[in-house]
Amino acid sequence: MQKLRAARILGWGKALPDRVLSNQELERIVDTSDEWIRTRTGIRERRIAAPDTAASDLALLAAQEALAKANLTVEKVDLIIVATVTPDMVFPATACLVQSRLGASRAAGFDLEAGCSGFLYALATGREFVASRTYDHVLVIGVEVLSRILNWQDRNTCVLFGDGAGAIVLGPAPLGEGILSTYLGADGAGGGLLSVPAGGSRRPVDQDVLATGAQYIQMNGSEVFKFAVRVMGEASLKALERAGLDLSAVSYLVPHQANQRIIDAAAKRLRLSPDRVIVNLDRYGNMSSASIPVALAEAADEGCFKSGDVLVLVGFGAGLTWGASVVRW
Ligand code: ACO
């Protein structure tokens, strides 16, 4: 058997719809206020995909940028993993749609769904393929068009989310470099706290569903909040332990962007000052699987990370699921 190796991030990219939806505009759609949204969540505005834009459109753009940054041609891509809860359609997989439009004819492809933790699950999966030498180059994409599954009459949810895509390319690295550890968790007993109840095989869309809005995101916000605050710190510490590092080694936290108060609580638990925490939810809201890769790509483009920096990527989401990864930049 061949020896294991590490995987590292060779390139990154993002794609965001042009359309900005501000809190002020939302005030005209539902009974809410800019003040409520900003103080409870930290969100000021979010991006909304055009009616003719689907997940694969945004995913393709993010993937092309990531490949260009990695200086890699499409022929080199061995596998495409797309994390999403809003695929173009039930099947074929959005990864296959991206593969075709990218022209990555050598690549295998599949979608993976783990709520807002989807990118961390996909990263962990891609890393294993590279580490085991099954593949050399894996494209990992997180993409969401959540605006399509929001009930625009429900102020509890419609103010929180946005659309976008982020992508990274993984390639081989010597052991001890790149992705140092991953940690994943799930608790299906909490699945009812955050779901889209209808549209699957349990409850296909019919007139009753349409009348009650069960095809849209439904959430118990305060319970999800408590769960999130608990697992963000725990998952980060577990991933650090697996990497053989302690808190003092952490350069930056790249958290899932759901709520500023959840991020602040995680940062406090990890004893990180705000300048060590990557935040973009004020501009994009919660983009589920796309939040972490977009935050990572933006911070990398701004030159935030220097070689050798230790990043902790951490998130939580529907499932319930959670996860973290420690990356040496
Ligand atoms: N505008 C004005 N008022 C609102 C709004 C709004 N947009 N939304 C809710 N309210 C009201 C509620 O109706 C409630 O009113 P009531 O007391 O009269 O019933 C009041 O505000 C307080 O509601 P709470 O739920 O107590 O508010 P809280 O401080 O918990 O904040 C929030 C709500 C922002 C949803 C918070 O709980 C949260 O962020 N939870 C986590 C959600 C999350 O991260 N979800 C994504 C998970 S990831 C995934 O996989 C998709």
Mutate to test the pocket of ligand 1, among 23, 222, 282 (most ligand atoms within 8 A of CB): 222
In percent, the amount of the chain with pLDDT more than 90 equals: 99
Question: Average pLDDT, whole number, for the chain?
Answer: 97
Q: Measure 111 CA to ligand 1 centroid, in angstroms.
A: 30
Convert the pLDDT of each residue in 244-253 to its tens digit: 999 999 999 9
For the chain, which residues make up each domain, given as ranges? 6-176, 180-328
Cβ burial 298-314 (10 Å sphere, 16+ → b, else e) = bbbeeebbeeeebbbbb
Which CB contacts under 8 angstroms, 24+ apart, belong to 108-112?
A: 108/78, 108/79, 108/80, 109/79, 109/80, 109/81, 109/82, 110/80, 110/81, 110/82, 111/81, 111/82, 111/83, 111/84, 111/87, 112/81, 112/82, 112/83
The pLDDT assigned to 1 comes to: 58
Helix axes 221-243, 260-269, angle to 10 degrees: 40
* Closest among 17, 262, 252, 228 to 143, alpha carbons compared: 17
Q: With contact defined as beta carbons under 8 Å apart, do 53 and 88 qualify? A: no
**pLDDT at 99 > cutoff 80:** yes
Mutate to test the pocket of ligand 1, among 21, 156, 219, 286 (most ligand atoms within 8 A of CB): 156
* Closest among 131, 156, 123, 139 to 26, alpha carbons compared: 156
Q: In whole angstroms, what is the distance from residue 263 CA to residue 324 CA?
A: 14
Number of helical (H) and strand (E) elements in the chain, helices listed first: 11, 13
Q: In 3-state terms, what secondary structure has residue 17?
A: coil
* Closest among 60, 249, 257 to 166, alpha carbons compared: 60
Look up 116 and say whether it is catalytic: yes
The pLDDT assigned to 202 comes to: 96
**pLDDT at 3 > cutoff 80:** no
Q: In whole angstroms, what is the distance from residue 195 CA to residue 182 CA?
A: 25
Closest residue to atom 41 of ligand 1, CA basis: 225
Convert the pLDDT of each residue in 102-149 to its tens digit: 999 999 999 999 999 999 999 999 999 999 999 999 999 999 999 999
Q: What is the CA radius of gyration of the chain?
A: 19
Q: In 3-state terms, what secondary structure has residue 56?
A: helix
The pLDDT assigned to 122 comes to: 98
Convert the pLDDT of each residue in 152-199 to its tens digit: 999 999 999 999 999 999 999 999 999 999 999 999 999 999 999 999
Q: Tell me the pLDDT band of 75, cut-offs 50, 70 and 90.
A: very high
The pLDDT assigned to 195 comes to: 97
Q: In 3-state terms, what secondary structure has residue 304?
A: coil
What's 180-328's CATH class? Answer: alpha beta
Matching CATH topology for 6-176 and 180-328?
yes
Which ranges constitute the DSSP H helices of the chain? 23-27, 34-41, 55-70, 94-102, 118-131, 155-158, 207-212, 221-243, 260-269, 281-284, 291-301
Closest residue to atom 12 of ligand 1, CA basis: 156
What's 6-176's CATH class? Answer: alpha beta
The pLDDT assigned to 4 comes to: 83
Cα 111 to chain centroid, rounded: 13
In percent, the amount of the chain with pLDDT more than 70 equals: 99
Ligand 1 pocket by C-beta < 6 Å: which residues? Answer: 32, 36-37, 40-41, 115-116, 155-156, 159, 194, 219, 221-222, 224-225, 228, 258-259, 286, 288, 317-318
Q: In whole angstroms, what is the distance from residue 201 CA to residue 141 CA?
A: 26
Look up 137 and say whether it is catalytic: no
Q: With contact defined as beta carbons under 8 Å apart, do 61 and 163 qualify? A: no
Quickly count: other Cβ atoms within 10 Å of residue 110's Cβ.
14
Q: Which residues contact 79 (CB under 8 A, 6 or more apart)?
A: 107, 108, 109, 126, 129, 135, 137, 138, 139
* Closest among 251, 298, 310, 303 to 275, alpha carbons compared: 251
Closest ligand 1 atom to 117 CA = 50
Q: With contact defined as beta carbons under 8 Å apart, do 86 and 144 qualify? A: yes
**pLDDT at 2 > cutoff 90:** no
Amino acid at 5: R
Convert the pLDDT of each residue in 204-259 to its tens digit: 999 999 999 999 999 999 999 999 999 999 999 999 999 999 999 999 999 999 99
